[in-house]
Structure 1
Amino acid sequence: MKAARFQRFGGPEVLEVVDLPVPRPGPGQVRIAVRAAGVNASDLKLRGGELSFGAGLPQTTGRDVAGVVDELGEGVTDVAVGDRVFGISDDGAGAAQFALLTFRAVIPESLGFVDAAGLPCALETATRALDQLHVTDGTTVLLNGASGGIGSAAVQLAVARGARVIGVAGALNQGYLSGLGAEPVTYGDGMVDRVRALAPDGVDAAVDVAGNGVLPQLVDLAGDAKNVLTLADFAGSKEHGVRFSNGFADGHAFHALAEVGRLVETGRFWLPVERTFPLARIADAHRLLENGHVRGRLVLIAD
């Protein structure tokens, strides 16, 4: 099968599409014929050597994936051969023609493969952050970096819980955030004042998705470091006593995959796909995401 991998750490140029053996599912796993695979910030960090999940070199890539079940492992009863599913590729090997999934769910009927492939990691990460901060009906939550994939998911999931959402993003994304249900404010000098103009007493919780060095301001707005969580600023979390959530050391929220269908089907959740690329152009997708200013998701189409 065709699959993307890298044999050394570095920029997008280290990515190559090679022939690898077709995997076989073990107990609890399903194998899917991949139709589409999302590209995430974590894929870039793994490729660059900034992040490690214990994998050596050469290393495959791609965690978000959607496709059709074509083989079941022992003990699998939740899906059948032929089902359309999406989920997290085991061993981060979703940028390929076939992939193995342990954490998966049936794709909501109204979604195609491309849209479904953009959901899993953003959905799990956003849900985990909201769960860990106990965001619920009546909570006022501040999301720093609200217009990307994770931020967009967090806005909609928090709104669905009945929370009031204040979203921080660039000037060009203010209208987009309003459409998702957030009260938007812009990055930069004066951000704290702009948030306090909307919430004079501060906020109940704050999530840092952007990792742009504003943890002290978020702590000030949320009243205490225990009310702030970062998904992107590990060094800042240690300096300011803020929780850093990565889903491996502190639990995951893959239950979100099965739960999002009701929101999708009632029009209360969607993640825009900004652009698609064929698998052979995975390096171009990585370059675009690395350059920033991507709203929503980038998705690879399996050849």
Structure 2
Amino acid sequence: MKAIQFSAPGGPETVSEVDIPTPEPGPGQIAIAVRHAGLNFVDVLARRGAPGYATGWPYVPGLEVGGEVAAVGADVTGFAVGDQVVAFTVDGGGLAETAVAEAGLAARVPAGLALEQATVVPLTWATAVGLAAAAHISAADRVLVTGAG
């Protein structure tokens, strides 16, 4: 399958399109035929070699994807081949024709919501949940959410 890959930490010269084996889902995972993928600043940090971002080299970036379920691993319920989903791919791999994600980090796209719009949610959601946990926000607290748009 085709994928965008960082060969090593560095600048844009480390980025290339490559052919790599298609990943298979393991237990608790789904494989997704990627139609849309988010590229975020964490991917830039991974390419630069910042500690804690790339899981090894070479590295396929992309932490959020949208597409159709292509295969379902053992012990996965609630997803079927052909379901339209978005997912957070913790270890990258989203800038490829097929990506694997933990089923618990995937969600079906609701009817009426465009897949390309839904694809931008997973990393933002993970960021918001992480910040809420780090700040010890409770249901009784008030917070201000700002953003452009």
Q: Using the alignment, how far apart are the partners of 1:165 and 1:83 within structure 2?
A: 35
- The residue that corresponds to 2:118 in the other structure is 116
TM-score, scaled to structure 2: 0.87
Is residue 34–residue 99 contact of structure 1 (8 Å, CA) maintained in 2? Answer: yes
Task: Tell me the CA shift for residue 125 of structure 1.
Answer: 1.0
Q: Where does residue 13 of structure 2 map in the other structure?
A: 13
Please list, as runs of the form range in 1=range in 2, the aligned pairs for 1:1-303 lying within 5 A after superposition.
Answer: 1-53=1-53, 55-102=55-102, 103-136=105-138, 139=141, 163-165=142-144, 167=146, 177=147
When the two chains are superposed, the root-mean-square deviation of aligned CA atoms in Å is 2.0
Q: What do the CA deviations read for 1:77-110 (whole angstroms, capped 9, x no partner)?
A: 1211111111112531000110101021111223
* Structure 2: unaligned runs, 5 residues or longer: none
- Report if the CA contact (8 A) 2:6-2:16 is conserved: yes
Q: Structure 1 pair 166/31, CA: closer, same or farther in 2 (3 Å)?
A: closer
Q: Which protein, 1 or 2, shows the higher relative CO under an 8 Å CA cutoff with sep ≥ 6?
A: 2
Quick one: distance in 2 between partners of 1:48 and 1:99?
A: 22
Question: Which secondary structure does the structure 2 equivalent of 1:37 belong to?
Answer: strand
Distance 1:55 1:166, change over 3 A: closer
Q: Which runs of 5+ in 1 are unaligned?
A: 140-162, 168-176, 178-294, 297-303
Is the 2:42–2:53 contact (alpha carbons within 8 Å) kept by the matching residues of 1? no
Give the number of aligned pairs: 147
1:53 Cα deviation after fit:
4.5
1:291 paired residue number: none
1:202-257 CA-to-partner distances (Å, cap 9, x unmatched) read: xxxxxxxxxxxxxxxxxxxxxxxxxxxxxxxxxxxxxxxxxxxxxxxxxxxxxxxx
Q: Is the 8 A contact 2:66 2:115 kept in 1?
A: yes
The answer to whether the Cα contact below 8 Å between 1:69 and 1:85 also exists between their aligned partners in 2 is: yes
Aligned residues of 2:26 and 2:73 also touching (Cα < 8 A): yes
- Name the CA shift for 1:136/1:98 in 2 (closer, same or farther; >3 Å): same
Please give the secondary structure, in 2, of the residue aligned with 1:8.
Answer: coil
Q: Which runs of 4+ in 1 moved over 6 A?
A: none
Cα deviations across residues 254-283 of structure 1 (Å, max 9, x unaligned)?
xxxxxxxxxxxxxxxxxxxxxxxxxxxxxx
Task: Report the Cα distance in structure 2 between the residues aligned to 1:3 and 1:106, rounded to whole angstroms.
Answer: 24
> Which is richer in helix?
1
**TM-score computed with the length of structure 1 as normaliser:** 0.45
Which SS does the other structure have where 1:130 is aligned? helix
Matched to 2:78, the amino acid is D
- CA drift of 1:11 comes to 2.1
Q: What is the identity percentage for the equivalent residue pairs of Structure 1 and Structure 2?
A: 37
- One-letter identity of the residue aligned with 1:122: T
